[in-house]
Amino acid sequence: MRIGYFLTWHQGPETGVFKKLAAQTAYWVEQGHEVAVFLLSNKHSYEQWRAALHPQVELTQRVWSSIPHRLMMANQWVSDIRAWRPDVLYYRYDVYYPSFERLFGRQVLVYEINSNELLETRLGPKLRHIYRSITRRRLLSRVDGIVSVSREIIEHPDFAQFQKPSMVIGNGITLSDFPELPAPANPAPRLVLMGGIEHAWNGVDKALWLGRHFPTWQIDLIGVYPHELPTDTPPTIHAHGKLTRAAYEPILAQADIGLGTLALYRKQMQETSALKFIEYLAYGLPTIIAYTETHYPDGVPEFVLQIPNTEDNVQQSAEAIAQFAAAWRGRRVPRSAITHLDTSATENRRLAFFEQLRGRAPHTAG
């Protein structure tokens, strides 16, 4: 297959999306497929992407500097895609552009959803939410299939109403790319949270509460800058800002426990497949989460503590958190227990879905 992956993304290699896409497309190439990435962004990041992608993955970037320019670049972006003539187009959920009309019906179009964007945009600018509400039907009614990272999302009426072929695939990770970090010998638990305060569902405020409640614990915040912390933040909480993987890996090596998403209810969601969760496990860190993880719908294993997805979850679970931290301090998650999270497992299912959709209805090439 010729698979085109197109997305709008403005952030760099420290993000989970960047790493996920690089791993996915590399696996597709290794399975014998031709792959191209088409990127629309407001930052010139071609060199960063080129360095991260498999050498055989083609890359095109269009960069915009204003709203009118964005529409112009989106039109050229679509022209780039059409010229490449993919068999399958894979679109990571984002906004609808009028130029998409030139893509519909020309190849299999698959939409990946990682969140209910209508619920998410309600937390942001009103105009953005209105535009999404008006245009999403045009996009979702024309796609050939949907890949969702959770059952909750695909079963929500906002998506289920379109009755599209769908598959739930939790996020994967190329385990061989991540060293199994040796367990540290900390005198007291050391926890780490990856995620900024700009996304309220990360629950940075809850990590701060833990730091105050357990004054002997050390807590590292990756993605939060020191100036973003309250003035009364205890010295045991360390804000490192946004870091590349090479820079934050030594911090994870010092940690006993990873803190996953702790406030998903702020997006009115109960289930997801969080990239940072699987990255913690890939490094061997036992992890605390406050949602239903797609990879573990029937209950989490012993190296994961799942607390309620509520406003007071950390306070109400303080004793359970302390017991979990004490039990797993100085221990690591065995790699053999998480092989189902590997990219090979998730991407084989995705590729099979592409083939299934190709067999459903012919499309006009060119």
**Across 331-340, average pLDDT:** 96
Q: What is the pLDDT of residues 163-173, one digit of tens each?
A: 999 999 999 99
| Per-residue pLDDT at 195 exceeds 80 | yes
**The domain 2-173+342-358 is classified under which CATH number: 1.10.357.10, 1.10.10.10, 3.10.129.10, 3.40.50.2000?**
3.40.50.2000
For the chain, the structural domain boundaries read 2-173+342-358, 175-340
Residue 197 makes CB contacts below 8 A (sequence gap 6+) with 204, 205, 224, 228
Predicted confidence (pLDDT) per residue in 122-164, tens digit: 666 777 778 878 888 888 899 999 999 999 989 988 889 999 9
Confidence category of residue 365, pLDDT binned at 50, 70, 90 = very low
Identical topology for domains 2-173+342-358 and 175-340 = yes
CATH topology of domain 175-340: Rossmann fold (3.40.50)
Orientation angle between helical segments 275-283 and 245-254, nearest 10 degrees? 60
pLDDT-derived band at 17 (thresholds 50, 70, 90) equals confident
Q: Contact, 272 vs 294, CB < 8 A?
A: yes
Kindly write down the DSSP assignment for every residue of 84-148, as one continuous string.
Answer: H--SEEEEES----GGGGGTTTSSEEEEEESS-HHHHHTTS-HHHHHHHHHHHHHHHTT-SEEEE
**Is the pLDDT higher at 139 or at 34?**
34
CA dist., res. 83 & res. 79, Å (int):
6
